[in-house]
Structure formats: C-alpha cells, structure tokens
Amino acid sequence: MEVDEIYNLACRASPIHYQHDPVQTIKTSVHGAINMLNLAKRLRAKILQASTSEVYGDPSVHPQPENYWGHVNPVDPRSCYDEGKRCAETLFFDYRRQHDLQIKVARIFNTSGPRMHPNDRRVVLNFIVQALLGRDITVYGEGLQTRSFCYIDDLIDGLVRIMDTSADITGPINVGNPSEFGRCCQHFRVRIARRVW
C-alpha cells in the first residue's frame, strides 16, 4: 500500500456498541493506532488520529480548551473508549518525538448525520427517534448539561483542513460546534429542522 495521508478513524463511538466488548474496544484504539503509526512511519505519510471529546472525562471546565487535561475515571464502564483514545493520542505524540512522524490529532465532539443506526443511543439520534415516534424527549439528570453538536459534513471538512495544516501544527484540535446547546431544547429543535435527515 502506498499512500501520502492516513486518517485513523477506527473505533466504535456509541457507548452501547463499544461497551458490548470493552476489551476489543480498547484494543482497537491502541493496537489500531500502533498499526497505522507503523504504516505511516514506513511510508513517511502524514497521519491523523480521530480522537474524542471523551478524553476530557467528566470535565470541570466548559467549554474544554485543548490544553485542558480533563477529569477522568480510568475504571468506569466507558473507560475502555476514553482511555483507549487517550493512549492512542500518547502514541501519536511519542511517534512524533521518537520518529519525527508528521501527526495530527483531532478531538471530535458529538457528530451526527444521515444513515446513523436508530439504536445508536447518542443524544441527537435519541431526540430524533423519539420525536419521529411521537414519544416524549428524554432529558437526562437535571437537564442542565450542554453539548457541542457537529454535523458530519462539517466534521469531514474540519478533518481535511487539519490534515492540510503545516507540519508544526499537530493538535490536539477540538472539532465540533463552537456553540454548546442545552437547557433550552428550542435551539436544538430549530437546528434539527434545518437539516435533511
């Protein structure tokens, strides 16, 4: 295989799916990163790691800047995903330091779009499925959470732009919507109505 750029997007992102086989989830992130980094090293290709906002854990800072280390629980049922992505980021930066590899790290926030599985169980899809079925919209906890929602086309554009940056820009770079939504679902409903699902 001969390539100039590698986008490593491997790993299920839906909690219901990645918690089904947590050992495989963390192996996908860690072993997958090592395999792709070794390929990039052999080919001298640029490589981008699709990381996640979940590396911030249960953050005490909103919104999270890229230099925030997070507030992470390494033994939670969701940790197989969070810690796998954190380890992958570490591997990327170590390969850069040790092998002078040209890396990019993007931390993705709550992306959604067409063709998602109805049982994905992430917040945007939950709202859409419940609305289409005429059910009440589930609000978790006290309903005070906020989220940065990102449409798939915008995410892809962001990843391509990150890959096209100069070699000294490595990231991590947060990729999502700069405005968080929550507390008031009216804004969320208006945004959903503007997209074709």
pLDDT in tens, the chain (197 residues): 799 999 999 898 888 888 899 999 999 999 999 999 999 999 999 999 999 999 999 999 888 899 999 999 999 999 999 999 999 999 999 999 999 999 999 999 988 888 888 777 777 788 888 888 899 888 777 777 777 788 899 999 999 999 999 999 999 999 987 766 654 344 444 344 334 33
pTM given for the model: 0.84
In this structure, what CATH number is given to the domain that contains residue 131? 3.40.50.720
Beta carbons of 128 and 188 less than 8 angstroms apart = no
- Domain extent for 155: 5-193
How many domains, the chain? 1
Instruction: Please give the positions annotated as active site.
Output: 81
Beta carbons of 66 and 72 less than 8 angstroms apart = no
